[in-house]
Amino acid sequence: MKIVLLGAPGAGKGTVATRLRDEMSVPHISTGEIFREAINNKTELGNKVSEILARGELVPDSLTIALVKERTQNSDCDKGYILDGFPRTMVQAEEWEKIDSVDKVISLDVSVDEVKRRLMGRRVCPKCKATYHVEFQPPKINNTCNLCSTSLEIRPDDREDAIEKRLEVYSSQTSVLLDFYSKINKLITIPADRKPEEVYQSVVSIISK
Ligand code: AP5
């Protein structure tokens, strides 16, 4: 099954997708993670997109679509995948429907105040990419990854000005996808202002239907 997880920055898309990947063996394709990896590895792609991400703006559609197309051609995607952070513009959504039409789009609906709280408190492991929250999902040992004991970091785009920009971009360019997918009967919206476990179980029950 081909699933898209849609939602504002900080809505919890990565948290849900990582668990689906681990527990249901579904490939998790996060465009944000692909870009961050390229930036860390100082590749040509990384150099191209690093300032765009730091500002909280969007990477050009053609580049992003080509990357996802290439990634989904891997054999691990033969039975489906979870897209997290893509599509994110009307161009991406319309184009992707032509390239590899998805089955379901699950929108995680969270209030703006809550996403701000989540982003301001997020901590990530630079090594294994595990995600924590200082209040809602704290690591067992202060600022240390439970899985690999690496010191946790704050994502460069979780600064207050970049968060504001990302929310503005979501509202002007991504939220229109709710209408697009609703009109083609693919959208399922779930309230995601709830505990991670409850949100995860709702997503699993939608996927299993
Ligand atoms: P991307 O990495 O996709 O960032 P995003 O969409 O802004 O989403 P986030 O990763 O910030 O949040 P999330 O929803 O995954 O939340 P998380 O699970 O971490 O993109 C980054 C950048 O890359 C973009 O700004 C853009 O520049 C570029 N880019 C990416 N895709 C692109 C595209 N398609 N086109 C163009 N450019 C693109 O959770 C957040 C926090 O909340 C965590 O601390 C977590 O522990 C906590 N949390 C999660 N769930 C809950 C819960 N239920 N209750 C309490 N806390 C929770």
Q: Which long-range contacts does 53-60 make (Cβ < 8 Å, 24+ apart)? A: 53/156, 53/157, 54/156, 54/157, 54/162, 55/162, 55/165, 56/157, 56/161, 56/162, 56/163, 56/164, 56/165, 56/166, 56/169, 57/165, 57/169, 58/88, 58/89, 58/169, 58/173, 59/31, 59/35
What is the per-residue pLDDT across 34-92, written as a single tens digit (0 to 9) for each?
Answer: 999 999 999 999 999 999 999 999 999 999 999 999 999 999 999 999 999 999 999 99
CA neighbor of 5 nearest in space, from 177, 137, 194: 177
Measured in angstroms, how far is the CA atom of residue 14 from the centroid of ligand 1?
A: 6
What value does the mean pLDDT take over residues 198-203?
Answer: 97
What is the per-residue pLDDT across 140-196, written as a single tens digit (0 to 9) for each?
Answer: 999 999 999 999 999 999 999 999 999 999 999 999 999 999 999 999 999 999 999
Indicate which residues carry an active-site annotation.
13, 88, 122, 155, 166
What is the per-residue pLDDT across 94-105, written as a single tens digit (0 to 9) for each?
Answer: 999 999 999 999
What is the per-residue pLDDT across 24-34, written as a single tens digit (0 to 9) for each?
Answer: 889 999 999 99
- The terminus-to-terminus CA distance of the chain in angstroms comes to 11
Query: Can you tell me the distance from the alpha carbon of 97 to that of 157, in angstroms, rounded to the nearest whole number?
Result: 29
What value does the mean pLDDT take over residues 2-22?
Answer: 96
Residue 209 has pLDDT above 90, yes or no: no
Question: Do the strands 122-124 and 131-133 form a parallel or antiparallel pair, or are they unpaired?
Answer: antiparallel
Ligand 1 in contact with 180 (CB < 6 A)?
Answer: no
Sequence-ordered strand ranges (E) for the chain: 2-6, 28-30, 81-84, 104-109, 122-124, 131-133, 187-191
pLDDT greater at residue 188 or residue 208? 188
Nearest CA to ligand 1 atom 42: 118
